[in-house]
Structure 1
Amino acid sequence: ANEKGLDLVEVAPQASPPVCRLMDYGRYKFETVKREKDQRRKQNVIKLKEMKLRPKVAEHDFQTKFKGLRQFLEAGEKVKVTIMFRGREMVHQEIGRRILERVADDAKQFAVIERQPLLEGKNLFMILAPSRQGAAKEQQATSA
């Protein structure tokens, strides 16, 4: 190993007899670290964005929020749509549910409901994920 400028590395010490290889250990270590970095870079980390609304949201405000929601979904990110209740608004939870139904209805071309509306404390929320069809349309548009 010394004559060739390589290292003698024990690969399987439990084997009988122990298995060793002649290799450049520094280069091997560098390649494994590089491979791990590439794998981490290729992992697709999905972020969860949140869109907050109130039960008494005005039409224009709803449209503005929906436009942002659409951009998040088209970018491939999941969106948590939250309806925040305050005080006596908790008595009228059906208003919040109707708003979430409207969001789901308007977004059904490019999103799927990942989690149905759920009440958590004073907030009613639903999670939307980008649909496969919407992602396919986006890829076709960028390739054309």
Structure 2
Amino acid sequence: MGEKRLQATRVVDIRPDQVFTLLATPDRHPDLDASGTVRGSRTHRPVGAVGDVFVMDMHGEDMGDYAVENHVVAFEPDREIAWAPATPGGDRGGQVWGYRLEPCNGGGSTRVTHVYDWSGVTMERLLPYLPIVDADGLAATLERLAGLAEQA
């Protein structure tokens, strides 16, 4: 397989701090997820730093119901947030989901880049399922983010 990283970018009509607040709040992730796999948060508190872990309830067509621990690997308020999913108490698996934020239009809007990187995956059992989303799926999540922004 060639490139093991996808991204999509879109401008949303709210400030970077407002976008960051949505992304750093696990309870909002089901509202953002266009895939339908993210079902709910077990953590119920905002992410605050690299090293934080938030747990999400998930559902996959092939896997049924399961939980993931998301280990925060990048955290720069109003600029970047990313996490690496792991089995509870186990291996991170090598995937990273993240967002980079750039102010635009005088700071009243935000250019959001949603990134999915699976280049670090070494677990053989995961490889047949990767990538688990395509660029259109990332763009659909950004569409949902934009919709939430318009409601804010």
Instruction: Judge same fold: TM > 0.5, yes or no.
Output: no
Give the number of the structure with larger relative contact order, counting CA–CA contacts within 8 Å between residues 6 or more apart.
2
TM-score, length-normalised on structure 1?
Answer: 0.22
TM-score, length-normalised on structure 2?
Answer: 0.21
